Structure 1
Amino acid sequence: MDKTENKSELIKLIIVYAVDLAIMIGLSYALPNLAPNMPIIAKAAIIYILLLVPVIVYAIKKGDCTAEAFGFRKIKVSTFFFTILLSIVSAPMYMFANVLSQLVVPNVLIQNMDNLMGDSMGASFIAMAVFAPIAEEIICRGFFTNRLKKTVPFSAAAVISAVMFGLLHLNINQFCYTLVLGIIFAYVNKASGSIFTSIIMHFLVNASNIGIVLLAQKTLQNMGMDLAETAETSRQNAGAMIFAVVFYGILAVISFFLSRKVIRAITKREGNE
């Protein structure tokens, strides 16, 4: 593409994203008011189906609405295991972002855990750990990253699509750590040449976070304590927060270099540059 075509494509992609963001904002306010008792799995299905419509329509109009265009390519078995490893070693980076955000805002997942788990635990798990990773990766990496990298340098495409990913969560706390995750997801997909790697990582991140919070909630309940109140009390403790920032900050630096090594290993195994 020449500069004019790049600019035109970039504007079109921004418009598509604006439609998606408007859908997310509209549904986040409409569904709780119009259908307060709707199961979370039904809400998730409605939200993600409607979010997928604009990107699929655009891809069809461009004539490349294919699995290949969205990055669905097979990965090697070794890449699968390195992706799991990357999910582990990269965790301190997004944890650090999460802690930093809590200097000004509460932890959204913890504060809303009772609402999120209002239905059966299995249904809630499917909505957050299955529906979300698949749909959000198709939209943010499969569509936006893959199209943005044709108009801007890959590093810019990774950051822009990560910002888009973060904004879709509609709160500062999740924006901070999903921004970090979005960049990691974009780079692991580039390394593997496949969207399957970010879907796997996204699933593992969501599933592990839900599991950890549920375990903490159950443990505190047995002790007669409330998880949300305990978390907020800790957040208000300046000393504890400073320690957490320093602790996770050090781990995040180590995590960055370890993650680079794992991503390079994935690149080598998949034969990509």
Structure 2
Amino acid sequence: MEKGENKMTNKTIDKKNALKLMGVLIVMLIVGYGLDIGVGVVAATAGISAPFIVYSLALYIPMIAIAFLYLRKKGDNLWKECGFNKIKVSTFFLTILLTVVAYPMVMFTNVFSQLFTKNTMAQATDAMIGDTPVLYMIAMAILAPVCEEILLRGFFHNRLKKFVPFTAAAILSGFWFGVFHLNINQFCYAWVLGIIFAYVNRASGSIFTSMTMHFVVNSFGGVMLYIQNAFYKSQGKEFAEVAESARSDSKQMITLIIVTGILSGGSFFLTRIIIKAIAKREGNDVEAVNDSAA
């Protein structure tokens, strides 16, 4: 992604290359999750418990390797493709503000999805933390944001937008970001976040903005899950059971959906304003955040 990227108009859709790229991503997912599952099988056979970070490394390393080799074959460079460009200090703080402002949309999609499925993270927290909370936080707050942004925004989105209009690329990269999590609950809010990540990166001209947002979201979520899990354990309760009990309370769920839905309306407009401010700070076309790529 280059600084000062101009708005694309009258873009010709290259379906063939877009589908090929999605095919490559699917292969990456199969290989990555195949090795991830393989680690679980080996650990179970050996009667040991592997830390969450080991599973994360088994997932990300082969996927990034495939992306690297694919781009190398095409004569491109993964680092340049990702757009590791410097951002201003003011942009960094605006990105933090953007994360806070956009969060109600994450909350709404998270709660709404729980009408149909369990709170996946609550169900898996105890297993992920295990006896290594520090490694859990490193995997959640550092490894995941860096690796997933390289894969989904740096590699996939930045290449896909060469074949389809930016808006379509943002929606599709968000969709595959959701698929990447392999459950309906996370799929819903990851899709929303993925779209926002694509737009903020175009505004800033750098992948560092989406990495920053991803870091804040995962850090906050990881810490809150750890605290809640520890608290309920101290009360002799299981966090997963408490979360499922809350989900079964229809009155509480409807209230949460209404409240977060209202907040999401304001969140959407404020998100657009801040993304435009980031584009202006970085000297990029403010209109680059508009949904007008043809």
In structure 1, C-alpha distance between the alignment counterparts of 2:78 and 2:187, rounded to whole Å: 29
**Counterpart among 205, 208, 215 of residue 196 in structure 1:** 208
Unaligned segments of structure 1, at least 5 residues: none
Q: 1:173 maps to what in 2?
A: 185
Identity across aligned pairs (percent)? 48
Q: Is the CA contact 2:99–2:213 (under 8 Å) kept in the aligned structure 1? A: yes
**Residue 265 in structure 1 maps to residue 265 in structure 2:** no
Q: 1:29 maps to what in 2?
A: 37
Q: 1:8 maps to what in 2?
A: 16
Post-superposition Cα deviations, 1:121-145, rounded to whole Å, max 9, x if no partner, equal 1111111111111010001000111
The DSSP-based 3-state class of the residue aligned with 2:81 is coil
Q: 2:242 maps to what in 1?
A: 230
Q: 2:266 maps to what in 1?
A: 254
Post-superposition Cα deviations, 1:29-74, rounded to whole Å, max 9, x if no partner, equal 3322222422222221121001112211111111111422211100
Instruction: Map residues 48-197 of structure 1 onto 2, 5 A cutoff.
Output: 48-197=60-209
Q: Is the CA contact 1:76–1:270 (under 8 Å) kept in the aligned structure 2? A: yes
Q: Is the CA contact 2:32–2:58 (under 8 Å) kept in the aligned structure 1? A: no
In structure 1, C-alpha distance between the alignment counterparts of 2:51 and 2:66, rounded to whole Å: 25
The DSSP-based 3-state class of the residue aligned with 2:80 is coil
The DSSP-based 3-state class of the residue aligned with 2:82 is coil
The DSSP-based 3-state class of the residue aligned with 2:79 is coil
Post-superposition Cα deviations, 1:189-243, rounded to whole Å, max 9, x if no partner, equal 0110000000011011001001112222233333333221111001011111111
Matched residues, number = 272
How far off its partner does 1:11 sit? Answer: 2.5
The DSSP-based 3-state class of the residue aligned with 1:225 is coil
Q: Is the CA contact 1:25–1:170 (under 8 Å) kept in the aligned structure 2? A: no
Question: Which residue identity is paired with 1:32?
Answer: G
**Residue 39 in structure 1 maps to residue 51 in structure 2:** yes
Q: 1:14 to 1:66 in 2, by over 3 A?
A: closer
Question: Which residue identity is paired with 1:249?
Answer: G
Q: Is the CA contact 1:167–1:175 (under 8 Å) kept in the aligned structure 2? A: yes
In structure 2, C-alpha distance between the alignment counterparts of 1:119 and 1:181, rounded to whole Å: 30
In structure 2, C-alpha distance between the alignment counterparts of 1:201 and 1:258, rounded to whole Å: 15
In structure 1, C-alpha distance between the alignment counterparts of 2:216 and 2:65, rounded to whole Å: 26
Question: Which residue identity is paired with 1:260?
Answer: R
The DSSP-based 3-state class of the residue aligned with 1:12 is helix
How far off its partner does 1:76 sit? Answer: 0.4
In structure 2, C-alpha distance between the alignment counterparts of 1:217 and 1:102, rounded to whole Å: 19
The DSSP-based 3-state class of the residue aligned with 1:58 is helix
TM-score (structure 2 length as normaliser): 0.88
In structure 1, C-alpha distance between the alignment counterparts of 2:279 and 2:60, rounded to whole Å: 30
TM-score (structure 1 length as normaliser): 0.95
In structure 1, C-alpha distance between the alignment counterparts of 2:29 and 2:18, rounded to whole Å: 16
In structure 2, C-alpha distance between the alignment counterparts of 1:76 and 1:19, rounded to whole Å: 36
